[in-house]
Homo-oligomer: A and B are copies of this chain.
Amino acid sequence: MEPLQCGMSPIVGFRFSLHPMASNFVKVIKGALTDIDTSNVWLHTDDVSTIIRGKQIHVFNVAKALTLHTAKTGEHVALSGTFSIGCPGDSSGDVFLEKDDVLLNTDKTQQYVSSQFALYPMNNPDYMAVIYHEVERAKQQGVFNDSMHYASGIDGDIHDVFSFYEQAFTNALSDKHRHLVMTVSMSINSPSHGGS
């Protein structure tokens, strides 16, 4: 039997798919990966998704920058992904933990995004309280959009929304409960929402 202890590693990962709803989607994605500075994260793309790993601040910075860059094409863009930390089955490699904390992508362009998220604190009997706390915080911060089955709606400017998500990820983790998962889906430039 393999040891099933929860990991002590500070590695944060984000496995995601970023979809521009356009025939030239390959060009759009490759352009984003070229123009954004991803040198602070380990990055690998396969035929279904892309994974970035590294320090939490850089993983969130690159995730936001890729999304913002793709959104600026004006195409309808959809992002779906899962942030993870402390997965007991994870390996320690494929990560750049020696990087400093200077953020490499600093585009402040405003961009309305509509999104949904769910938190899954693993092996934590009090996990619903953790979730409710973050939903309440979203309401206080003005980024809460809607209640719904299995998720909560978060919308606003992309910088406010990603800031909320990174803080939620930090808050939901504890020394006792080190395996945390957060799913995020995001829609930008959609004909279905009227944000500006």
Residues of A bordering B, CB below 8 Å: 2, 4, 13, 15, 17, 19-23, 25-26, 46-49, 51, 53, 76, 78, 80, 82, 84, 87-91, 94, 114-116, 118, 120, 122-129, 131-132, 146, 148-151, 153, 181, 183, 185-187, 190-193
In the complex where A46-B148, A47-B193, A190-B47 touch, is A78 in contact with B120 (Cβ < 8 A)? no
Dominant SS at the A interface? mixed
A-B contact pairs, 25 of them (CB 8 A): A15-B148, A17-B187, A19-B78, A20-B21, A21-B21, A23-B23, A46-B146, A46-B148, A47-B114, A47-B187, A47-B193, A48-B185, A48-B186, A49-B185, A51-B149, A82-B150, A82-B151, A84-B149, A84-B150, A87-B149, A87-B150, A90-B149, A91-B149, A122-B127, A123-B124
Q: How far is the CA of A179 from the CA of B54 in the complex (A)?
A: 30
Closest to A75 in B: B23
Contacting residues, chain B, for A13 (C-beta < 8 A): 149-150
A183–B23 touching, CB < 8 Å: no
Among B88, B125, B131, B191, contact of A123 (Cβ-Cβ < 8 Å): B125
Among B22, B78, B150, contact of A17 (Cβ-Cβ < 8 Å): B78
Residue with the highest number of chain B CB atoms closer than 10 Å, among A90, A115, A149: A149
Q: How far is the CA of A124 from the CA of B116 in the complex (A)?
A: 25
- Give min CB distance, A85 to chain B, whole Å: 10
Q: How far is the CA of A104 from the CA of B85 in the complex (A)?
A: 40
Contacting residues, chain B, for A183 (C-beta < 8 A): 82, 183
- Give min CB distance, A44 to chain B, whole Å: 8
Contacting residues, chain B, for A46 (C-beta < 8 A): 146, 148, 153, 192
